[in-house]
């Protein structure tokens, strides 16, 4: 499927991966305050290159800071799995979403829950066609939302439709969303309180594409009142209140090159922020109304920007040999942030997970675990009191495992 942002469809048998980081929290499990945007981490990335057959079967992420130790955790998912987003309500209550399947058979959403010290797959509503979930947000332990998309065929962008699912304490169920004039998909969601959510993505039309914003209020989903930005795409959203949100993505520039795109909801109106630089933003997280971070990539190097209450500014990040991109960012506190993504492998080498940490003074690259062949991290969540979780996938040409990683 042709998109300006990465579609998390599984192109072959894959395995979901979960990572856990040791040494930065007081407990071995993460926590996130219910109803805060930092409990949501979504990622949208430009398509990554397919690794060559000569890629190493067991690679180690480049060495960085050794203050934390990230570990791969068993996702307990079947082959063909990939995880895209993760959110935690408490230390012992986390959700991860993604997809499972192959390009020759109908794929479906993958939902996993962390409880009792391990991750387990939970039943997901069946979708008709190729479907996946890209992001999840949980205002409380019995109120979670996930968004994604479904299409009759894996390459049928003309018929792709948004998917919205909700967990109310018993089981996940598909929720009816607003009718779009064309096709489209959702890639980010943030629910600051029970009964209030915002979701973002991209609307598709025969003559182009544009931003898509949907709102959940008064018990129903509606299309947001903002005018779509032509040739724009939104990948992530973070809300500190139902009337205070930031959404990020990318849009075609005056020379057709991609430019970052930032939208702000202040009260009842969405406006475009003046900050713009070449590249694209994949993820945003807000600790408070005056403390936000966004991450993405610029010219094959990680891009991180910060909002401190007045304007967005570019933050210094360590250069990545061979190139890299950041697909997820989350903060547990002002001096406790994590960004995850991919170290782009050079020709003949595998792509590897990329982890960077903000300690209040600067961003540093952190050691990653040994993984099998091609691997990437797409989402992360952090609360500060526990340990962050990062999710993604591992395996050459998507033939590996869903990846869950933690820093415990």
**pLDDT for residue 137:** 98
* pLDDT tens digits along 355-398: 999 999 999 999 877 776 688 999 999 866 668 999 998 874 44
Contacts of 328 by beta carbon, 8 Å cutoff, 6+ apart: 41, 42, 43, 282, 283, 295, 339, 340, 341, 377, 378, 379, 380, 390
How many Å is the maximal CA-CA distance in the chain?
A: 54
pLDDT band at 152 (very low <50, low <70, confident <90, very high): confident
Give 40-105 as a DSSP string: -B----PPPPPPPTTS-SSEEPPP-B-SSEEEE------SSEEEEEEEEEETTEEEEEEEE--TTS
- Position with higher pLDDT, 33 vs 355: 355
Instruction: Please give the order of strands across the beta sheet that includes 312-315.
Output: 280-288, 291-298, 301-307, 312-315
- Position with higher pLDDT, 368 vs 308: 308
Mean pLDDT, residues 292-305 taken together: 97
Whole-angstrom distance, CA of residue 251 vs CA of residue 4: 9
Domains and CATH numbers, the chain: 15-407 (2.130.10.10)
The predicted model scores a pTM of 0.85
144 pLDDT higher than 70: yes
Whole-angstrom distance, CA of residue 340 vs CA of residue 357: 9
**pLDDT for residue 28:** 30
8 pLDDT higher than 70: no
**pLDDT for residue 155:** 63
* pLDDT tens digits along 226-255: 788 989 999 999 999 999 999 999 998 665
* pLDDT tens digits along 50-104: 333 233 333 444 445 545 678 888 888 877 788 999 999 987 899 999 998 755 4
269 pLDDT higher than 50: yes
pLDDT band at 135 (very low <50, low <70, confident <90, very high): very high
Asked if residue 114 lies in contact with residue 405, where contact means CB atoms within 8 angstroms, the answer is no
**What value does the mean pLDDT of the chain take?**
81
266 pLDDT higher than 70: yes
**pLDDT for residue 48:** 33
297 pLDDT higher than 50: yes
Grouping H, G, I as helix, E, B as strand and the rest as coil, residue 225 is coil
Instruction: Name the residue among 398, 402, 378 with its Cα closest to residue 154.
Output: 398
- Position with higher pLDDT, 368 vs 118: 118
**pLDDT for residue 256:** 57
Mean pLDDT, residues 182-190 taken together: 95
Percent of the chain with pLDDT over 90: 54
**pLDDT for residue 207:** 77
Question: 36 exposed, middle or buried (CB, 10 Å; 0-12, 13-18, 19+)?
Answer: buried
**pLDDT for residue 406:** 79
Grouping H, G, I as helix, E, B as strand and the rest as coil, residue 159 is helix
Main-chain dihedrals φ then ψ at residue 403, nearest 5 degrees: -110, 125
């Amino acid at each position: 499927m042709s998109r300006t942002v990465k579609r998390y469809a599984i192109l072959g048998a894959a395995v979901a991966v979960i990572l856990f980081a040791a040494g930065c929290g007081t407990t071995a499990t993460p926590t996130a305050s219910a109803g805060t945007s930092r409990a949501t981490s979504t990622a949208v990335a430009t398509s990554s290159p397919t690794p060559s057959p000569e890629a190493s079967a067991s690679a180690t992420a480049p060495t960085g800071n050794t203050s934390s130790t990230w570990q791969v955790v068993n996702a307990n998912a079947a082959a063909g799995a990939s995880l895209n987003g993760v959110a935690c309500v408490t230390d012992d209550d986390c959700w991860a979403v993604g997809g499972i399947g192959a390009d020759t058979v109908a794929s479906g959403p993958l939902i996993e829950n962390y409880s009792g010290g391990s991750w387990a797959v939970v039943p997901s509503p069946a979708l008709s066609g190729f479907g996946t979930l890209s992001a999840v947000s949980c205002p409380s332990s019995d109120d979670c939302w996930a968004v994604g998309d479904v299409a009759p065929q894996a390459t049928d962008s003309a018929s792709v439709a948004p998917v919205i699912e909700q967990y109310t304490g018993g089981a996940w169920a598909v929720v009816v969303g607003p009718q779009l004039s064309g096709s489209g998909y959702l890639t980010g969601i943030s629910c600051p309180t029970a009964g209030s959510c915002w979701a973002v993505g991209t609307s598709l039309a025969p003559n182009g594409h544009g931003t898509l914003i949907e709102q959940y209020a008064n018990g129903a989903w509606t299309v947001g009142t903002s005018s779509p930005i032509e040739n724009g795409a939104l990948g992530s959203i973070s809300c500190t209140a139902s009337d205070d949100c930031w959404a990020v993505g990318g849009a075609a520039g005056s020379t057709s090159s991609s430019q970052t795109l930032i939208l702000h909801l202040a009260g009842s109106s969405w406006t475009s922020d003046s900050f713009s630089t070449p590249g694209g933003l994949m993820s945003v997280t807000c600790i408070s109304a005056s403390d936000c971070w966004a991450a993405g990539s610029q010219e094959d190097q990680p891009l991180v920007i910060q909002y401190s209450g007045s304007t967005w500014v570019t933050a210094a990040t360590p250069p990545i040999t061979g190139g890299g991109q950041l697909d997820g960012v989350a903060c547990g506190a002002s001096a406790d942030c994590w960004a995850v993504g991919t170290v782009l492998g050079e020709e003949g080498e595998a792509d590897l997970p990329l982890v960077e940490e903000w300690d209040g003074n600067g961003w540093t690259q952190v050691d990653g675990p040994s993984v099998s062949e091609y691997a990437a991290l797409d989402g992360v969540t952090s609360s500060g009191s526990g340990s962050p979780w990062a999710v993604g996938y591992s395996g050459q040409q998507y033939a590996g495992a869903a990846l869950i990683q933690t820093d415990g």
